[in-house]
Amino acid sequence: MTPALRVVAPGLMTTLQDLGRRGYQSLGIPVSGALDAVGLVAANAVVGNAPGTGALEIAHLGPALLVEADSVRVAFAGGAAAIEVLPGEGAPGGRRLAPLQSARLERGEVLRIGALGQSALGYLAVEGGFDAAPVLGSQSTYARAGLGGFAGRALRAGDRLPLRRAEAEEREEGMLPSLDLAPPGRIRVVFGPQDDCFSARGRRTLLEATFRVSAASDRMGMRLEGPALEHAGGFNIVSDGIAPGSIQVPGNGLPIVLLADRQTTGGYPKIATVIAADLPALGRLVPGASIAFAAVGIAEAEAEHRRHAAMLAALPQRVVAARTGPGIDPAALLVSNLVSGVVSAHDP
Amino acid sequence: MTLQTATRTAATVSDPPGLTPTLPAARFLPCGDTALTVELGDGVDLAVNALVLALAARVRDAAVPGIVELVPTFRSLTIHYDPLTVVHSELEARLLLLLSGLSAAGRTGRLWRIPVCYHDSVAPDLAEVAGRTALAPERVVELHSRAAYRVYMVGFLPGFPYMGELPRELALPRRENPRTAVPAGSVAIATTLTSVYTLESPGGWHLVGRTPAPLWDRARDPPVLLAAGDRVRFQPISLDDYAALASRSAAGEMRLQPEEAPAGAGELP
């Protein structure tokens, strides 16, 4: 049998994602890809993969996966989850794994990732990657049209996820000593493309109010609850193109930040656009989290983009040899900064 | 229609010297640090859309480093780019040059003939459309299938073509109560537009027919049949023909080929 991970439990919404599908937006096909590129690239770096290798994106609650390969090396990056390796399906005992640290699993072992805390997202990378044929140049799952991933959809119990490698490479485990996953105090935006469809008060509200992430959010868009943003006139425009991070405001005045599975065009005015450097952090926000915005100019957004890209590009060089031995590595937990800097509802 | 020069640009960028405002003006709308929309007009208009498609072709041909992809829409072109390679100010400067003397002449898209069954059983809103437009159902079908349409843009759903112009007699606002699930293949009209739902989807347009043609096929690259700038005619077919073609389509045996694009440079539907 081909080497694979078999899905014992799928988690809440687990999909294969890479850095997205480019070049088909003019045909209405969304980019998709990881909501949190930092988590994806970090998990890949720890197992020695190229940054954009497809990995499992885990939302809120992780899966349980049975190893049906001689061995496999895995690494998890993202929300603080309990990561356990059980000796078999339904077997008691087992060992805990640290995030941001690779581990080798043997045939018959079960990797179980629990509920994610503080962050909505986590990424599980396997050394060598999953053996899923790219669709239109990407392994990313776009479930609405059944594109990419495994059978074009989120994982289900019983699925077999083929692996490119039959066994883990013989080498030391790696770890990333630190990774800042904390959201910035304020999510930065550039006004436009349709800020002129809003009153001065509407634009002010965007910057002065604190919003709350709605539970109705998904990979397409993050819905925000809070004061309505006042339109200047109507709330329909002639449909035009949509950028990642566009903040679309339909008739009820409540903003929706458009994410990886966003439709390529839309007919609601978009007051502002979240800068690319802040999108990964945005994707990690859990329902109920507070969120506030600050406006920056395009030049500043571009400078942040360069800084962010340099940080991502440097991640593989920051991977060091992990100390061996069972149990949790407290160092890895401590430096995985998930808490500080969370937007407070008391912020102005 | 010719665009003389690009003029009014949004907010942060001032006009370069030597360019005086003329109409129609191009507006540059910033979309964060990875996209920029160039708006060439105000509404849904074949002439403005032809300029958008001409601009898209020019930008593509210019192969500007850093441009990742282009999304033409009714009246604007959205340019997705990599700011590590080209920054907003440079891109605007390049676009100003590309906008200069822009003309839609000489461009014509592929012509497709798409079979549509207008039988009541697959056209749930045909009777209502006939009632509200005070036309016989046969006349609605005749008007809808006699016109030639241009694909203004593709969006909303993968492969969903926004096509116009619908004959004025058929123009109706969207349904007050959108459906939660419109079947794939539904041929629909609303306002001055017509389209085909490529996937099952919620939808608020009036469903006047159904096509068996595979406008969306995951096994194809690209999986989408129609592109912005293409021209489309609908060919009425019987319910029996629909059933036969639908089973061929489901088996992956129905392939549509574009008909020859007519000579006549710049011809528009």
Per domain, the residue ranges of chain A are 4-174+320-337, 187-306
The mean-pLDDT minimum among A55-59, A79-83, B91-95, B139-143 falls in A79-83
Q: How far B182 CA lies from chain A's nearest CA (Å)?
A: 14
Which residue, among A19, A24, A25, A27, would best test binding to B if mutated, counting the most B CBs under 10 Å from its CB? A27
Q: What percent of chain A has pLDDT over 70?
A: 93
Torsion over CA: B194, B199, B203, B208 (sign): positive
Q: What is the pLDDT of residue A125?
A: 98
In this complex, is the C-beta atom of A305 within 8 Å of any C-beta atom belonging to chain B? yes
- Whether B14 shows a pLDDT value over 90: the answer reads no
pLDDT band at A323 (very low <50, low <70, confident <90, very high): confident
pLDDT tens sequence across A128-169:
999 999 999 999 999 999 999 999 999 999 999 999 999 999
Let me know: does A123 contact A16? Beta carbons within 8 Å. Answer: no
Residue A216 sits at φ, ψ, to 5 deg, of -85, 10
pLDDT tens sequence across A218-234:
999 999 999 999 999 87
How many other C-beta atoms can be found within 10 angstroms of the C-beta atom of residue B266?
12
The answer to whether the CB atoms of A274 and B224 lie below 8 A apart is no
Q: What is the pLDDT of residue A340?
A: 41
Q: How far B159 CA lies from chain A's nearest CA (Å)?
A: 5
pLDDT tens sequence across B234-260:
999 999 999 999 999 999 899 898 986
Residues A56 and A140: their CA atoms lie apart, in Å, by 10
- Which residues, 6+ apart, have CB-to-CB distance to B177 below 8 Å? B204
In this complex, is the C-beta atom of B25 within 8 Å of any C-beta atom belonging to chain A? no
- Which residues, 6+ apart, have CB-to-CB distance to A51 below 8 Å? A19, A40, A41, A44, A45, A312, A313, A315, A316
The answer to whether the CB atoms of B32 and A245 lie below 8 A apart is yes
- Whether A343 shows a pLDDT value over 90: the answer reads no
The answer to whether the CB atoms of A241 and B76 lie below 8 A apart is yes
Q: Which amino acid is at A119?
A: S
Residues A169 and A183: their CA atoms lie apart, in Å, by 35
Residues A176 and A173: their CA atoms lie apart, in Å, by 11
Q: Using H for helix, E for strand and C for coil, what is the string for B234-269?
A: EEEECHHHHHHHHHHHHCCCCCCCCECCCCCCCCCC
Residues A44 and B95: their CA atoms lie apart, in Å, by 38
Residues A299 and B59: their CA atoms lie apart, in Å, by 23
Mean pLDDT, chain B, rounded, equals 88
3-class SS at B72? Answer: strand
- Return the CATH class of domain A187-306: mainly beta
- Whether A301 shows a pLDDT value over 70: the answer reads yes
pTM: 0.90
In this complex, is the C-beta atom of A134 within 8 Å of any C-beta atom belonging to chain B? no
Q: How far B3 CA lies from chain A's nearest CA (Å)?
A: 20
Q: Write out residues 210-269 of A within 8 Å (CB-CB) of B.
A: 238-246, 263-266
pLDDT tens sequence across A78-93:
987 899 999 998 888 8
Which residue, among A32, A136, A239, A263, would best test binding to B if mutated, counting the most B CBs under 10 Å from its CB? A239
pLDDT band at B106 (very low <50, low <70, confident <90, very high): low
How many other C-beta atoms can be found within 10 angstroms of the C-beta atom of residue B149?
23
Q: Write out residues 149-188 of A within 8 Å (CB-CB) of B.
A: 152
- Whether A279 shows a pLDDT value over 50: the answer reads yes
Burial of A21 per CB tally in 10 Å (0-12, 13-18, 19+) = buried
In this complex, is the C-beta atom of B42 within 8 Å of any C-beta atom belonging to chain A? yes
Let me know: does B150 contact B72? Beta carbons within 8 Å. Answer: no
- Which residues, 6+ apart, have CB-to-CB distance to B86 below 8 Å? B64, B65, B66, B67, B94
Measured between CB atoms, which of A27, A242, A273 is closest to B154?
Answer: A27
> Using a CB-CB distance cutoff of 8 angstroms, which residues of chain B are in contact with residue A239?
73-74, 153, 155-156, 162
In 3D, which of A287, A280, A303, A284 has the Cα closest to residue A190? A303
All structural domains of chain B: 2-103 (3.30.1360.40), 111-250 (2.40.100.10)
